[in-house]
A and B are shown apart, each in its own frame.
Chain A
Amino acid sequence: MSASLFAAETSYAVASSPLTAIIVLPFIGALTVACIPRARAELHRLVALLFSVGTGAITIWLLAAFETGEAGYQFEVERNWIADFGISWHVGIDGISLFLVVMSGLLFPLAMIAVTPHHDQKPYYAWLLLLQGACIGVFCALDLFVFFVMFELVLVPMYFLIGGWGYAERVYAALKFFIFTMLGSAFMLVGIVSLAFLHRDGERDSNVERVAEVQAEGDAQIDEIIGGAQDLDPNDPADAGQIADLSAQIDAITADIDARIAELENPKLDFDLVAIAEAQHVTDDSTSGNPLDWSAARWIFLAFAIAFAVKVPLFPLHTWLPDAHTQAPTAGSVILAAVLLKLGTYGFIRFGLYLFPEATVWFAPGMVTLGVIGIIYGAIVAAMQKDLKRLVAYSSVAHLGFIVLGTFALTTQGIQGSVLQMVNHGISTGALFLLVGMIYERRHTREIAALKGLQKPAPIFAAVFTVVMMSSIGLPGLNGFAGEFLILVGSFLTRRWWTVAAAAGVILAALYLLWAYQRVFHGEPDEDNADFAEMSWREGAILAPLLGLIVFLGVYPKPVLERMEPSVSALVSHIEDHSDFVEPGVAAGDDATSDAASDATSDADDASDDAGSADDDAHEEGH
């Protein structure tokens, strides 16, 4: 594709890109921390923070330098890594990944500042830095192989963080986390490799015409030379030099043409996301529900989907999540909820929707159903929890269900809402885990029944908790509302009844969180809770940026939305171009809540069921 070709030419000029820096800097930090001797313990934290904050600062600079209104990838870098396999260090961000990168840049330093480990500082910070680099790497990767490497690399530090610094059942939780996720990625690796090979075969087939063109082009050039040489006399020594010159030219042209044809007939393997997604060689237009009739695209989509569904986690692959979240140390839970789960939802958008538009449309009803089950199931199970941290963990299942619903609604609003909600969930749930961690530090228990009336001794703490909780519930004016509203609007256009069920989940969220709040903060504190310490300045300072973002994004999400809008609409039109899906409500303008939009819904439902109805020639649109 033109974008990647351009990048390849200029790769050495922009080798020192900010994206490479924010991925590599934490890795260097991890190495540095690992090299500092154990005796200089005070340096570990300092150096780790330095690298983490530095990385975060660059991500914030990215936010400022990002050009609003551009749909394509920015800060793109492409360098050869493993040339034989067409694997390159290709990174870049667009409006969708930008905010996830910034969120990772922001939350890692906060999590580091917020919690000091009780033992073994050195490996703790080294693992956290490694995790930061890998997470940012996932969000920036534009090469399937680089993406997989980063996706898989995330496992190791998280595994050690849970297993090394977690609570009582940490070993079990860490193992479960590792094995579940690795099982998912095992399928994805085979999927990626198959995709690359099928793409190569497709490229070869599509080059057949080009071969004829190149051949004709060469023939024309040669004919021209021969035509111009008609008046030369081969027997005349005066013309001999010119004839030799011309025949050398013809030889050169022939050789060049042969080389180009050879290249076209044997295209190289390529793992480049953009090239594969834009070429769309791997598709599947069977209408059969029988998996044996499917061609590769749906199988490969499934292979990717399993990996992402484990990570999200989607019901019924979610069982690792409550264990991992509950047993992880506070910083681990924050990162796990805020960043790691987004690897799955981001993967769906970037690698599911973008690579396999057709398969996405085919599987969308199933994915949306799983998302809605997650919303309801997560909420109900959360309400039943006795452990505050477990409650927050299950609330993640519900929230992530919303994100999946919005993503597979396949509308601009839905996907925008999903991306916004990814950021929101990171902020709110990150803050909730921090707060629960603070409660645990004070009371050494997370059991809801053991906590009572904390509002009395710690009113500010309670107030902060209320704000964060309300944002998680989705109270208008706070960030959660903006995201959830967009998701519901977006999904109502294409999936009306699923949306109705999901909306019930919003009410359930209010139920379990408010009930938990009531049990923990209301009432008269008993003996154990009477001297619950008020929030300290340090804790307040850590939570302040998160609270600020909660309010800011709730009141004024426009800066975020306008940056992601072009990328999201480009993605949706990419899906429309390459499948029979038609986004409803766009023609009616942006006012998606109007009656016209709901009329369009039924049309869209019909359209998406009716194969080939809208498969027009609008394939020209590039990314």
Chain B
Amino acid sequence: MTPLLALVSQPVDEAVEALPRVDVAWSAIAPVLILVGGGLLLLVVGSLARREPLHGSYALATTVIAGGATATAVGLWDRVQDEARGPFSTLADSYGVDGFSTFATVVICAGVILGALSLDGWLRRERMETAEPYVLMLLSASGGVIMASANDLIVMFLGLEILSLAVYVMAAMHLRRSTSQEAGIKYLVLGAFSSAFFLYGIALVYGGTGSTNLVRIAELFATSVLSNNGLVLAGLALLLVGFGFKVALVPFHSWSPDVYQGAPSPSVVWMASGVKVAGFVGLIRVFHLGFSSFALDWQPLIYALAAITVLVGAVLAVVQTDVKRMMAYSSISHAGFILVAVQAATDEGVQAALFYLAAYTFMVGGTFAVIALVGRTGDIRHSLSDYRGLSKDRPVLALALVVFLLAQAGVPLTSGFFGKFYVISAAVDAGSTWLAVFAMVSTVISAFLYLRIIVAMYMETDADGDDAREVRRFPIPFTAGLGVAFAVAVTLVAGIFPSVLADPAGDATPVLVAELPAEAPEAASP
């Protein structure tokens, strides 16, 4: 308990001094406020409403709330991109607003919208239409936004917990399926475990540096060299374990296939997109930004993790027969790919990782949205054989899934290809050519798995008559169709004109800025 007490006491001391003169820049935390406030409002309205709400009204409300958060984030983006004003920090330097955090906020909100559109039809189909899943997702997203902006490890931890707790419930929310409960418990236990690692890491870093604030830590390392940095290194390793659990890096991945398989598919839309984005931006913020002077220490670790994650994810994905498990392993492989960009430890690497994350949100979110539809009532039809003949039953949906799968395989004219291209470029530029080769070869292995699904949809059409087909035809709710169409559009547009995403990602450099930006906007950037 002692380190924890020390932790708690320190910010309080600082805050006591700082409070009188520090204003809270409300505009800076507007996205979080909108997400939390909107979520709570939705919860209240949902529990007070006497009548059944109009179809899709919760999804619409969630979309509007996420859209509002996006709009404020875009406003902040314009502010931080403005040469004269630049990035800034608020709340006693614990919350930073820069291009990186605003970009991540927009991507996370996009994940919320995809998740909400997928939830709508699904909840109606499962006769569970309530506001809570949406509320949980919005709260979870607020945690993600906090992680993207956290300049303090304690704030990062708060964000991580807010993000995770809501997702544990989302994983377990399918009451009638025991696998969903199992997924929830598994996620909770392992998630709590990883949080403990994370917290212990913070404690060690605090012990080593005397601060939990990334700005202070970066300042400290910029001006002084620790004679004994063992504590900091151990802390960093534990932080990496905590993040590794959250974004499912090998060897901390074992929860993810089980949870993805058991959890309700629309929850997985959010888990695979928003949660992973939040985990990665948190990781980049801590390692690339706060501990950039330790890059030589953590780069080899991340190099090894990246290599093993791309490979193990791809190989294990190939041998699955359950589509949700397949996609779980394939998203592990994607996480490895993003890590390849992170280990470059350059601005290009961050740009590549952000592009990949943005592209990934749409292609994987879209994939799970389709999976949620194909799962049909009960959310149980997820074996590969359930995809047989999908091209005949639902040709447009099958084609959309083909786009997502080819994008994940990295076929040109999709955003996934450019994601891979930028990552490879960043890695090669940083001198990790062999890691790039390794990652590309792993991509070929995982291409096999995407093709297996395509084969099932297009090439294993059994000779059933039209009657059988009519029986198999499942309805596609309008909202779900809209979400899938949205994801397809982004995947293709970013695949033909990658600048749409790559330019903002390139401008979204993360910086650590001490407070009082008006006088010295770039004073403390490392």
User: Which chain A residues have a beta carbon within 8 Å of chain B's beta carbons?
Assistant: 82-85, 148-150, 152-153, 155-156, 159-160, 163-164, 170-171, 174-175, 178-179, 182-183, 186-187, 189-190, 193-194, 197
Contacts and interface: CB of A to CB of B under 8 A. Distances in A.
Contacts of B447: 178-179, 182
B425 interface: yes
Nearest to B448: A179
Contacts of A160: 458
Given A149-B412, A178-B447, A190-B440, A82 B499 contact: yes
Nearest to A178: B451
Pairs of residues from A and B, 10 with the lowest C-beta to C-beta distance, nearest first: A186-B440, A149-B412, A163-B459, A183-B444, A193-B428, A190-B436, A152-B412, A182-B444, A171-B459, A190-B437
Contact of A170 (B411, B454, B459, B506): B459
A193 B406 contact: no
A85 B506 CA distance: 12
B413 A149 contact: yes
Interface string B496-508: 0011001100100
A84 B506 contact: yes
Given A148-B412, A182-B447, A194-B433, A174 B424 contact: no
Contacts of A82: 498-499, 502
Given A153-B413, A197-B428, A186 B455 contact: no
13 contacts: A82-B498, A84-B499, A152-B412, A152-B417, A153-B411, A155-B411, A156-B411, A163-B458, A179-B447, A186-B441, A190-B433, A190-B436, A194-B433
Contacts of B459: 163-164, 170-171, 174
Nearest to B422: A85
* Chain B: interface size category: 20 to 34
A152 B499 CA distance: 21
Nearest to A198: B428
A562 B118 CA distance: 62
B260 to A, nearest CB: 25
Nearest to A27: B413
Contacts of B413: 149, 153
A183 B444 CA distance: 6
Contacts of B451: 159, 175, 178-179
Contacts of A182: 409, 443-444, 447
B421 interface: yes
B460 interface: yes
B411 to A, nearest CB: 6
Contacts of B498: 82
Main secondary structure of the interface of B (DSSP, over half): helix
A153 B496 CA distance: 13
Nearest to A182: B444
B78 interface: no
B454 to A, nearest CB: 8
B387 to A, nearest CB: 14
Contacts of A193: 421, 424-425, 428, 436
A174 B455 CA distance: 9
A155 B420 CA distance: 17
Interface in B157-175: none
Given A170-B459, A193-B428, A183 B412 contact: no
B440 A187 contact: yes
A153 B410 CA distance: 10
Contacts of B506: 84
Contacts of B417: 149, 152
A194 B502 CA distance: 20
A149 B441 CA distance: 17
B420 to A, nearest CB: 8
Contacts of A186: 437, 440-441, 443-444
B455 A175 contact: yes
A197 B430 CA distance: 10
Contacts of A149: 412-413, 417
Interface in B403-420: 406, 409, 411-413, 417, 420
B102 to A, nearest CB: 20
A189 B440 contact: yes
B502 A84 contact: yes
B455 A190 contact: no
A189 B417 CA distance: 11
A473 B459 CA distance: 37
A571 to B, nearest CB: 27
Contacts of A152: 411-412, 417
A82 B502 CA distance: 9
B126 interface: no
Given A150-B412, A179-B447, A182-B444, 12 more contacts: A84-B499, A148-B412, A149-B417, A155-B411, A163-B459, A171-B455, A179-B451, A186-B440, A190-B436, A193-B421, A193-B436, A194-B433
B30 to A, nearest CB: 31
Contacts of A84: 499, 502-503, 506
A171 B498 CA distance: 33
Contact of A190 (B428, B429, B448, B460): B428
Give the most central of B428, B436, B455, B460: most A CB within 10 Å.
B428
Contacts of A171: 455, 459-460
Contacts of A159: 451
A160 B451 CA distance: 10
A203 B441 CA distance: 30
A155 B506 CA distance: 31
A178 B449 CA distance: 12
B455 A189 contact: no
A82 B433 CA distance: 22
Nearest to A152: B412
Contact of A175 (B433, B437, B448, B458): B448
Interface string B470-499: 000000000000000000000000000011
Contacts of A189: 420-421, 424, 440
A163 B409 CA distance: 18
B13 to A, nearest CB: 46
A148 B425 CA distance: 14
A179 B441 CA distance: 10
B455 A163 contact: yes
Nearest to A151: B412
B428 A194 contact: yes
A155 B450 CA distance: 14
Contacts of A164: 458-459
Contacts of B428: 190, 193-194, 197
A197 B429 contact: yes
A197 B346 CA distance: 15
Nearest to B437: A190
Nearest to B452: A175
Nearest to B420: A189
Contacts of B458: 160, 163-164
Nearest to A172: B455
Contacts of B433: 190, 194
A155 B444 CA distance: 13
A171 B451 CA distance: 10
B57 to A, nearest CB: 34
Nearest to B435: A190
Contacts of A150: 412
Nearest to B455: A171
Given A82-B502, A171-B459, A190 B424 contact: yes
Contacts of A153: 411-413
A193 B352 CA distance: 14
B154 to A, nearest CB: 37
Contacts of A155: 411
Contacts of A187: 437, 440-441
A156 B406 contact: yes
Nearest to A183: B444
A488 B51 CA distance: 86
Contacts of B412: 148-150, 152-153
Contacts of B429: 197
Contacts of B503: 84
B129 to A, nearest CB: 35
A37 to B, nearest CB: 11
